[in-house]
């Protein structure tokens, strides 16, 4: 699960993001509305946590803009406004849920889980079927023929990215951004390492290397 957090209260933002990372989410942490909107438009996120009052562009405008551009990522609004009109405005603009500050982190987590479940249902049982592989993105396992292989969360995210782009090269930069987030201090070489882990688990014939560029999942590999 890759998540974008747009919240300008630095301390609160840090607390939220640290907790989410502990829970296994990959999180990009943004404190400015304008940058946040851009990231939401061009990054590939599964969920967005969005504050109401933000520098440069406010949360309500961000939701409206995203929905206008046809971006359907689930959005959880954070707001200090307990006024019913504000909640209605947020939901009307296209937010999926809201949480009034201050809140308990457990509640935030529960709501995010609910939102991602709702989204997963729309994606037909979380199963991706490509190139002879069936990936369950929620349970983190892949089956090929009679083999059933358990994957780590990162391996699942990696395979999902390759499957969704089957036949097309996915650059190392994009994989890195998807697995660790744009602002991660992780080593870039980790991409190759995770490709190695994944190949070790699913077999070496599926993922092809394009030297110096990235990797792709071969269209008909694994089908005999």
In terms of CB distance, is 66 or 135 closer to Ca ion? Answer: 66
Tell whether residue 8 is a contact of Ca ion (CB under 5 A). Answer: yes
28 binding Ca ion? (CB under 5 A)? no
Contact, 34 vs 61, CB < 8 A?
no
**Closest CB to Ca ion among 8 and 23?**
8
Residue 5 or 116: the one with the smaller Cβ distance to Ca ion is 5
Are the C-beta atoms of residues 206 and 200 closer than 8 Å to each other?
Answer: no
Binding mask 151-170 for Ca ion (x = CB under 5 A): --------------------
Q: How many residues bind Ca ion (CB under 5 A)?
A: 3
Give yes or no for a contact between 141 and 106, defined as CB atoms under 8 angstroms apart: no
Structure tokens at 39: 């990231």
Assess 86 for contact with Ca ion (CB under 5 A).
no
Residues near 141 by beta carbon (within 8 Å), at least 6 away in sequence: 135, 148, 149, 150, 151
Residues 35-74 close enough to bind Ca ion by CB under 5 A: 51, 53
Residues in Cβ contact with 109 at an 8 Å cutoff, skipping those fewer than 6 apart: 19, 20, 23
* Cα distances (Å, whole numbers) of residue 202 to 6, 13, 86, 205: 36, 37, 49, 9
Q: Are 191 and 176 in contact (CB under 8 A)?
A: yes
Nearest approach in angstroms of CB 51 to Ca ion is 4
Q: Which is nearer to Ca ion, 80 or 186 (CB)?
A: 80
Stretch that binds Ca ion, among 1-9, 23-31, 34-42, 65-73 (CB under 5 A): 1-9
Is 32 or 136 the residue whose CB approaches Ca ion more closely? Answer: 32
Q: For the CB of residue 96, give the shortest distance to Ca ion in the complex, in Å.
A: 19
Using DSSP's 3-state secondary structure scheme, residue 49 falls into: strand
Q: Which residues bind Ca ion (CB under 5 A)?
A: 8, 51, 53
């Amino acid at each position: 699960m890759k998540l974008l957090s747009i919240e300008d209260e630095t301390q609160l933002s840090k607390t939220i993001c640290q907790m989410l990372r502990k829970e296994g989410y990959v999180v990009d942490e943004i404190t400015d509305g304008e940058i946040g909107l851009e990231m939401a438009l061009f990054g590939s996120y599964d969920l967005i946590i969005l504050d109401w009052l933000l520098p440069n562009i406010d949360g309500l405008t961000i939701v409206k803009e995203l929905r206008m551009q046809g971006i359907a990522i689930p959005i959880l609004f954070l707001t200090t406004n307990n006024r019913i009109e504000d909640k209605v405005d947020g939901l009307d603009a296209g937010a999926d849920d809201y949480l009034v500050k201050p809140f308990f982190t457990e509640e935030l987590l529960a709501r995010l889980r609910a939102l991602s479940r709702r989204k997963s249902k729309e994606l037909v049982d979380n199963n991706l079927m490509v190139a002879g592989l069936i990936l369950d993105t929620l349970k983190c396992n892949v089956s090929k023929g009679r083999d059933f292989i358990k994957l780590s969360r990162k391996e699942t995210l990696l395979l999902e990215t390759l499957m969704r782009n089957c036949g097309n090269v996915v650059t190392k930069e994009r994989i890195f951004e998807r697995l660790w987030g744009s602002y991660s201090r992780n080593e870039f070489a980790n991409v190759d390492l995770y490709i190695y882990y994944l190949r070790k688990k699913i077999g070496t014939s599926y993922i092809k290397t394009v030297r110096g560029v990235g990797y792709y999942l071969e269209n008909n590999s694994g089908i005999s």
